[in-house]
Every structure is written in structure tokens, then in C-alpha cells.
Chains A and B, each alone.
Chain A
């Protein structure tokens, strides 16, 4: 029994790591603009699908991965430049609806380009099973966890230690005051869309060898990442990471111990319960404001 639980935990942390990266992407854009970017899941799909495509056209493996991340980041920048920026001044709700439209467009474009087939990337470093106590894991699990850890630390460092990171936080907090400081708010938003797309692409590529990918893979991953972000408290980037890991572990335990058929339902039930009992999320900070 205990061995089984260890096995579920390993699976849960792996899946949760990808949710964490997607959730982090949600949190970054939300932090910078108050907008929930529902095209976040499509970044994950485009990352994985374009990596598959670049491999298929004969690019060497590492280059294909880097190229796919670059393509997705450009898609993120283009989304901001051509869909979000022209609507600046629109309300948050309008902008959110624009991101939903963009998600449908990106999914459709992927369908036309790459078809309906399900693809997988090769594992990064073999498929030889590793033993961790009595539980087993693949090298790819370690890749997922390791790269996620590095990226989470990097994002944390960016927002805690760099002036650009702080400037993005300032835009989120008070756009007009940020402009009065000489911060180019449009540029900061562009940077955050680029970062979110980058994180989404990495998540998609990391998990594609284990979980496969297709033109519509972004829907579920996007929803899970969004759940991670609200579970942790929208706007708290480290909350999104914790939310993602928690969601992954709950899902995996639920699927293993109760029924795998209810895997997704269990994840979303937990999110609903948290929203009912703690609307600001598990780690959402209380507003510190005095007028």
C-alpha cells in the first residue's frame, strides 16, 4: 500500500510540475494585466506539436526542442502584439474573451497544419526504468521535475530581484502610476506574454514523451493550469506552483485509490471546494492597501 502511494506521488509530482508551469504562465499574465489568458493551454500544445514537427522535418533533437520553444514564444509575443495590444483600453472581460477567441484560432490553425493525429516526442534520455525504493520512474519524470524546479526558481528570482520584474508587478498594481514612473506598460505586457508562452512551451515539450500531444491537447492542460493558479491564489506565482503540484498529487492519488475514471472530476471538485471556502485561494495574499 505504502509503495503504491509512493508511486502515485511520483506520478502526481510529474504531472503537477506541468500544471505548475502552465499555472505560472497564467499567474504572470494575470499579475501584469489582471487578464486570465485562456490561450495559455494552446502555448503548451504549440510547444509540443511544433517540436514533433521540427523533428519530423529532420532537425536534430535538441535543436528541435529549442526551436519549438522559440516558435511558441513568438506566438505568445504575436498574440500580445496583434490581438491584445490593439484592444488596449478594453475592459478585462473583453480582453479575456479575446484570449478565448485566440485559443480557438490557434487550435484551428494547429488542426490545419498538423492534422488530428496523436503524437509523442521521444524520451529525452532513454526509457530505462529507474527504481526509487520500490517505486519506479522514468528518466523523463526526472527531466520534468528538474526543469520545472529550475524554471520556478528563475521566475521567482526575476520577480524578486530584477527591476524589470518589479516593473511588471508595478503595472499590475497600478498601471497609471507605473506609467508615471516611466515604465513602458505595453512593453512589460509583451514581456509577460513572451514569458508565459515560453513556460507553456517548455511544459508541453517536457510532458509530451509521457502524455502525448495532439492539436486539442491544450484544452485540458490549460484548464488544469488555470485550476492550479486559482487553487494557489490567482496572482501569487508561487501559489500557482504549489497549486499545480497539489492538483497533480490529488489527481494521481484519486485515480489510483478511488477510480481513474474520475481523475479530472476530482481535480475540479477540489478547485470548486477551495473556491467556496477560500475564494482568494490557498496562498492568495490579502490586499494590503490603505487610502
Chain B
């Protein structure tokens, strides 16, 4: 675990409000280059809000976000993507009325000046998910849930991520597909991608993660190596169901 390096992502005392309601209270966390970090917690703990704030889609109301040593807290979303933070949003959010291939091209929007790289990366995504190649001309809205999740991951990879944010990739998928998606996430991690994974499926997430944070009502309550969290009695009772 290369956690001695300078962190790639450093979040300090981050807070976010939806109107008068505070969704995140003073969250601090770090992700080091090459790590796979999981954030687990119940529904409504603020996991999705946290990722949306990191991507700049939701404004932060306090604290700072540093990426690769530079502050990005107030940058607009498109600048953050350009720096290499790419997100697979909750519920896939593929562009339903556009074709599979167009979805991937749009994923490469931030890399549009490098057409050769985009073309080559699309071919790589098709190799990773052959079903997407088979359905490349179809509307993304007509794909099954699992295929849409593959498309959403592929689309994020087209943004040339230095940090990949995954929001509930297993949500609403059949167990076999969950396994498939987690296998791909692990492969991406093993190939060197830095990943921040948010999951309700804490067991599956911690199995593949290096480290984990437990989020409860907008606060980090525990952080530890993933293996330790899997063994931790309170975490097991609260999130692992045994």
C-alpha cells in the first residue's frame, strides 16, 4: 500500500448544505496514488453528496479539497474533470436517447483534442465490455441495468481518470452482475487506477479495497485498512449484517 506518498486527493473539513440542511459535516479523508479506497455507510449518510461535491456538481459550503497538491474546492465541474477526476454517478445516468458509442465519445469530451487517444480508449472499453461493442449503435436507454453500468464505467474511463469516483456501482444489479462489476473495478485498480468507491454493499466494497471510511449522517466515524474494518465488531454489526 503506497500510502506514504503525498496524497492524490486530500479532503479537509469539507461541509455541504442543501439549502438549510447540512448534508456533510466536516469530512476529512485522503486517497493516495494507486489506492482503492471505499466509503461505506447507510442510505442517507452523505456518500453521494460527498462525491458530487468532489466533482464540483454540488458546491462545498466549507473546508477544502486538494487534488495533486492544488486546491480545487471552488472549480467548476468541467475544470475538475479536465484535471482527471472522473465520476461514475449513482444510478448510471447514461444519456438514454444517445447511442452507446455517442455516450462513450461524450465521456471523452474533456480529451476531445486527442482524437487518436479517444478512438484507442473506446476500443479498449469495448475489449473490457464486449457487450457494449455488440450494442454500440443502440440507444443507451435500451440497455439493461448491468449494461448501463458498464457503459457508465466505460464513459468515465474515456475521461482519462487519474482518480475514478464510483457511486454505488452495484445498486439494483443482480448478484452475478455485481460480481462482474466488482471484478472490473478490481482489475482497473490492479492496472494502476486510483479509485474512490462509495457503496452500501459494504462487504463487497471492503473485500477489494485497500482502506475504508465509514460515513454516518454526514460524518466520518471510522477509518482503517479495509481488512481491519471487515473484522471490526461494530462495523460488522452495523453494515455487514453479521
A181 beta carbon closer than 8 Å to chain B: yes
Chain B residues positioned under 8 Å from A116 (CB to CB): none
Q: Is the CB of A179 within 8 A of B57?
A: yes
CB-CB nearest in chain B for A285: B97
Binds B, one of A169-177, A220-228, A269-277: A169-177
Q: Is the CB of A290 within 8 A of B143?
A: yes
Interface residues of B in 74-95 (CB under 8 A from A): 76-78, 81-82, 86-87, 89, 91, 93-95
Tell me what chain B mostly uses at the interface: helix, strand, loop, or mixed.
mixed
B98 beta carbon closer than 8 Å to chain A: yes
Q: Is the CB of B102 within 8 A of A166?
A: yes
Inter-chain CA distance A280–B199, complex, in Å, is 38
CB-CB nearest in chain A for B102: A166
A128 beta carbon closer than 8 Å to chain B: no
Chain B residues positioned under 8 Å from A150 (CB to CB): none
Contact of B159 among A178, A181, A291 (CB under 8 A): A181
Inter-chain CA distance A290–B140, complex, in Å, is 9
Inter-chain CA distance A181–B161, complex, in Å, is 11
Q: Is the CB of A177 within 8 A of B89?
A: yes
Chain B residues positioned under 8 Å from A185 (CB to CB): 78
Interface residues of B in 37-93 (CB under 8 A from A): 52, 55-57, 76-78, 81-82, 86-87, 89, 91, 93
Given the known inter-chain contacts A163-B109, A167-B109, A290-B141, please indicate yes or no for A180 contacting B86, CB distance below 8 A.
yes
CB distance from A182 to the nearest CB of B (A): 3
Q: Is the CB of B148 within 8 A of A290?
A: yes
Inter-chain CA distance A287–B89, complex, in Å, is 21
CB distance from B123 to the nearest CB of A (A): 18
CB-CB nearest in chain A for B56: A179
Given the known inter-chain contacts A173-B98, A177-B93, A288-B96, please indicate yes or no for A163 contacting B106, CB distance below 8 A.
yes
Chain A residues positioned under 8 Å from B107 (CB to CB): 181
A74 beta carbon closer than 8 Å to chain B: no
Contact of B97 among A173, A179, A181, A291 (CB under 8 A): A173
Contact of A176 among B89, B110, B139, B143 (CB under 8 A): B89
Q: Is the CB of A182 within 8 A of B97?
A: no
Inter-chain CA distance A31–B28, complex, in Å, is 39
Q: Is the CB of A183 within 8 A of B93?
A: no
B162 beta carbon closer than 8 Å to chain A: no
Contact of A180 among B89, B96, B172 (CB under 8 A): B89
Inter-chain CA distance A291–B148, complex, in Å, is 9
B234 beta carbon closer than 8 Å to chain A: no
Contact of A290 among B78, B82, B89, B144 (CB under 8 A): B144
Given the known inter-chain contacts A170-B98, A179-B57, A291-B91, please indicate yes or no for A163 contacting B78, CB distance below 8 A.
no
CB distance from A17 to the nearest CB of B (A): 27
Chain A residues positioned under 8 Å from B143 (CB to CB): 290
CB distance from B106 to the nearest CB of A (A): 5
A289 beta carbon closer than 8 Å to chain B: yes
Contact of A182 among B81, B94, B102, B142 (CB under 8 A): B81
A184 beta carbon closer than 8 Å to chain B: yes
Chain B residues positioned under 8 Å from A173 (CB to CB): 95-98
Given the known inter-chain contacts A180-B81, A181-B155, please indicate yes or no for A169 contacting B86, CB distance below 8 A.
no
Question: Could you show 7 A-B contacts with beta carbons less than 8 Å apart?
Answer: A178-B106, A179-B77, A179-B78, A180-B156, A184-B78, A290-B145, A291-B91
A interface residues, Cβ below 8 angstroms from B = 163, 166-167, 169-170, 173-174, 176-185, 285, 287-291
B interface residues, Cβ below 8 angstroms from A = 52, 55-57, 76-78, 81-82, 86-87, 89, 91, 93-98, 102, 105-107, 109-110, 112, 139, 141-145, 148, 155-156, 159, 172
Further contacts, 11 of them, CB under 8 A, given A169-B95, A180-B86: A177-B89, A177-B94, A178-B95, A180-B77, A180-B81, A180-B93, A181-B110, A184-B78, A287-B141, A288-B97, A290-B142
